């Protein structure tokens, strides 16, 4: 299990700041039109269509209309259209803009909610993306989020520190918690060659039992409720990004975790494209043999990568306990750790791509809740749409075949050079 085939580590054009600007923009145009962006958009469209079929299928009126399809086919079509459009309209209203809300603040609130959901997705997704780039399948973001949440919440409610420092330490603590959980599979792989897929999966389960154990301990559970830790102190909570004095009467949950996510995106970009650690990381992922021959320590790189990946996932945990939730709960990680895998895949393991993918999936999640409450369409449909998107993006020929788009990269590919080797007599 080496280099994930859907995330070929091609240096992005942003990586160079050479003088040839015109060529750079040419390159960008080619990518946009022919390549990944187009495929991604088409994949999203196709996934929503497939989701639509499911919604129609599950709708009782549609099924009823289907029983007399041959006498009145139009009934089926209109019932299906109604079910699907209602659901997707609700999804949009819940995710982006709710034109039915009374105030402007209410109308844009969905967008802020999408961002709130996106923050942990982006952070954990970045962690997984960093792993992918080093050729590591880190399935363990779930556990790393949980550990980050445990560390951050403990510092948040148990310590008494000045404003500012408290938050900083709590956030760092979260990163450390995740990093510890990432260091275990990293260290075991580096030292013993233990398969990181298996180890991270196991650590996810261990983390789940650990959090349920911890929540029963007196420190975390003074009220014996067994479900929730004491609330994190105000001094350790992410401040709201848009405070009441700025936009009076808003009930946005948007907090400074967003800034952490953006900073993390920039950090990961710098790490991968500008730092020596990132150079080693990408080398180890693309060709560990050559990396070793060039004097890099692949084991050390694996370890560092997993520590960083875990730290990023741990930050996702802080977004939950220091921001959205305000306390440690058993379900603090929800399914963010697993969703983050699809986020990283959709973002093709690139920082900016992961950010955009995280926002998209955050929007789907936020919209999904409104859709569920308004149209009784279960939010599980979002999972279906998400996974179909990722599957399709991983198989561009399939998407091209469905939409009958020619492959624009083909004539540009210079295959001669790589072929010579294979036809060598």
Partner 1 sequence: MKLELRGITKVFGSLVANDHIDLVVEPGEIHALLGENGAGKSTLMNVLYGLYDPDDGEILLDDRPVTFTGPGDAVAAGIGMVHQHFMLVPVFTVAESVALGYEPTGRAGVLDLDRARRRVAEISERFGFHVDPDALVEDLPVGVQQRVEIIKALSRDAQVLILDEPTAVLTPQETDELISIMGELKEVGTSIVFITHKLREVRAIADRITVIRRGKVVGEARPTSSETELASMMVGRSVSLSVVKTPADPGASAFQVKDLTVLSPTGTPVVDRVNLDVRAGEILCVAGVQGNGQTELAEAILGLHEAAAGSIVLDGQDLRGKGVRERLRAGIGFVPEDRSTDGAIASFTIAENLVLDLYDTPEFARGVTMSPAKVQANAEQLTQEFDVRLTDVRDPISTLSGGNAQKVVLARELSRPLSLLVASQPTRGLDVGSIEFVHQRVVAERDKGTPVIIVSTELDEVIALADRVAVMYRGRVVGVVDAAQAGGVDRDVLGLMMAGVPYEEATAQAAEHQSTLAMADQGHLPHEEQP
Partner 2 sequence: MSTVTAPERADAAPAEEQVLARISYRTPVMYALAGLVTLFVFAVGTDPDASTTFQLASGSSWFTIPNFGVPSLVGALLLAAAQLAAAGWAYVLLRSRRGVPVWLHLLVGVAFVVSFLVWAGAGRTSVIPVTSLLAGALALSVPLIFGAMSGVICERSGVINIAIEGQLLFGAFVAAAIASQFASGYAGLAAAPFAGAAVGALLAWFAVSFRVNQIIVGVVLNTLVIGLTGFLFSTLMADDPGSWNARQPLGVIRIPVLSEIPVLGPVLFQQTILVYIMYVLVAVLQFMLFRSRWGLRTRAVGEHPKAADTVGIKVNTRRVWNVVLGGAVAGLGGAFFTVGSGLAFGREMSAGQGYIALAAMILGKWNPRLAVLAALLFGFSKNLGNVLSTIGSGVPSELLLMLPYIITIFAVAGFVGRVRPPAANGTAYTKD
- With a CB cutoff of 8 Å and minimum separation 6, the contacts of 53 are none
User: Residues 254, 116: contact at Cβ < 8 Å?
Assistant: yes
Distance CA 330, CA 211 (A): 6
Rounded to a whole number of angstroms, the minimum distance from the CB of residue 387 to partner 1 is 27
Rounded to a whole number of angstroms, the minimum distance from the CB of residue 354 to partner 1 is 19
Q: Which of 192, 140, 147 is nearest to 306 (CA)?
A: 140
Task: Between 159 and 267, name the residue whose CB sits nearer to partner 1.
Answer: 267
- Give me the count of residues in the chain: 425
296 lies in the site for partner 1, by CB under 8 A: yes
Distance CA 316, CA 337 (A): 9
Task: Between 72 and 191, name the residue whose CB sits nearer to partner 2.
Answer: 191
Task: Between 139 and 302, name the residue whose CB sits nearer to partner 1.
Answer: 302
Name which position in 21, 289, 410, 421 contacts partner 2 (CB under 8 A): 289
383 lies in the site for partner 2, by CB under 8 A: yes
246 lies in the site for partner 1, by CB under 8 A: no
Q: Which of 96, 117, 115 is nearest to 107 (CA)?
A: 96
Which of partner 2, partner 1, none lies near 11, with the C-beta cut-off 5 to 8 A by kind? partner 1
CA atoms within 13 A on the CB side of 397: 1
User: Residues 354, 122: contact at Cβ < 8 Å?
Assistant: yes
Name which position in 38, 46, 116, 139 contacts partner 2 (CB under 8 A): 139
Task: Between 223 and 416, name the residue whose CB sits nearer to partner 1.
Answer: 416
- With a CB cutoff of 8 Å and minimum separation 6, the contacts of 178 are 127, 144, 145, 147, 148, 310, 311, 312, 313, 314, 315, 316, 317
Distance CA 163, CA 114 (A): 28
1 lies in the site for partner 2, by CB under 8 A: yes
Rounded to a whole number of angstroms, the minimum distance from the CB of residue 8 to partner 1 is 6
Rounded to a whole number of angstroms, the minimum distance from the CB of residue 6 to partner 1 is 13
Which of partner 1, partner 2, none lies near 380, with the C-beta cut-off 5 to 8 A by kind? partner 2
Which of partner 2, partner 1, none lies near 378, with the C-beta cut-off 5 to 8 A by kind? partner 2
Task: Between 67 and 409, name the residue whose CB sits nearer to partner 1.
Answer: 409
User: Tokens in use for 33?
Assistant: 């039109």
25 lies in the site for partner 1, by CB under 8 A: no
Distance CA 341, CA 394 (A): 13
CA atoms within 13 A on the CB side of 351: 21
Name which position in 122, 199, 281, 313 contacts partner 2 (CB under 8 A): 199
266 lies in the site for partner 1, by CB under 8 A: no
Distance CA 353, CA 10 (A): 13
Task: Between 45 and 201, name the residue whose CB sits nearer to partner 2.
Answer: 201
Distance CA 55, CA 351 (A): 33
221 lies in the site for partner 1, by CB under 8 A: no
DSSP per residue, 39-68: HHHHHHHHHHHHHHHHHHHH-HHHHHHHHT
Rounded to a whole number of angstroms, the minimum distance from the CB of residue 127 to partner 2 is 15
- With a CB cutoff of 8 Å and minimum separation 6, the contacts of 349 are 4, 7, 9, 129, 132, 133
284 lies in the site for partner 2, by CB under 8 A: no
Which of partner 2, partner 1, none lies near 416, with the C-beta cut-off 5 to 8 A by kind? partner 1
User: Residues 88, 49: contact at Cβ < 8 Å?
Assistant: no
31 lies in the site for partner 1, by CB under 8 A: no
User: Residues 200, 139: contact at Cβ < 8 Å?
Assistant: yes
170 lies in the site for partner 1, by CB under 8 A: no
Residue ranges binding partner 2 (CB under 8 A): 1, 4-6, 54, 58-60, 137, 139, 184, 188, 191-195, 197-199, 201-206, 209-210, 212-213, 216, 289, 292, 338-339, 341-342, 345, 377-378, 380-388, 390-391, 394-395, 397-398, 422
In the complex, the residues that contact partner 1 under the rule CB under 8 A are 8-11, 15-18, 20, 23, 270, 274-277, 279-280, 282-283, 286-287, 289-297, 413-425
């Amino acid at each position: 299990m080496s280099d994930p085939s859907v995330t070929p580590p091609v240096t992005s054009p942003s990586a160079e700041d050479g003088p040839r600007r015109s060529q750079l923009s040419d390159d960008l145009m080619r990518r946009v039109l022919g390549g990944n962006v187009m495929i991604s958009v088409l994949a999203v469209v196709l996934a929503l269509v497939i989701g639509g079929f499911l919604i129609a299928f599950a709708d009782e009126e549609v099924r009823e209309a289907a029983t007399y399809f041959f006498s009145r086919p139009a009934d089926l079509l209109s019932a299906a259209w109604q079910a699907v459009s209602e659901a997707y309209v609700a999804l949009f209203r819940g995710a982006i803009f709710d034109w039915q809300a009374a105030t402007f603040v209410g109308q844009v609130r969905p967008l802020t909610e999408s961002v709130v959901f996106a923050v942990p997705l982006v952070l954990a997704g970045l962690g997984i993306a960093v792993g992918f780039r080093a050729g590591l399948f880190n399935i363990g973001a779930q556990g790393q989020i949980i550990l980050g949440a445990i560390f951050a919440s403990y510092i948040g409610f148990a310590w008494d520190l000045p404003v500012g420092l408290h938050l900083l330490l709590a956030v760092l603590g979260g990163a450390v918690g995740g990093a510890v959980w990432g260091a275990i599979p990293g260290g075991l792989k580096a030292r013993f060659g233990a398969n990181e897929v298996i180890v991270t999966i196991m650590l996810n389960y261990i983390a789940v039992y650990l959090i349920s154990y911890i929540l029963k301990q007196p420190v975390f559970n003074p009220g014996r409720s067994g479900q929730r830790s004491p609330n994190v102190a105000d001094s350790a909570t992410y401040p709201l990004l848009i405070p009441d004095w700025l936009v009076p009467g808003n009930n946005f949950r948007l907090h400074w975790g967003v800034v952490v996510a953006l900073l993390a995106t920039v950090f990961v970009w710098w790490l991968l494209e500008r730092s020596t650690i990132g150079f080693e990381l990408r080398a180890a992922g693309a060709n560990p043999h050559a990396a070793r021959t060039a004097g890099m320590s692949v084991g050390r790189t694996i370890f560092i990568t997993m520590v960083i990946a875990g730290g990023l996932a741990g930050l996702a945990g802080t977004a939950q306990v220091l921001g959205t939730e305000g306390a440690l709960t058993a379900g603090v990680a929800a399914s963010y750790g697993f969703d983050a895998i699809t986020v990283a895949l959709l973002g093709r393991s690139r920082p900016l791509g992961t950010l955009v993918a995280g926002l998209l999936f955050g929007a789907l999640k936020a919209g999904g809740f409104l859709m569920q409450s308004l149209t009784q369409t279960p939010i599980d449909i979002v999972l279906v749409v998400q996974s179909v998107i990722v599957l399709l993006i991983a198989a561009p020929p399939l998407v091209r075949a469905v939409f009958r788009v020619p492959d624009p990269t083909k004539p540009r590919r210079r295959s001669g050079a790589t072929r010579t080797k294979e036809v060598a007599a």
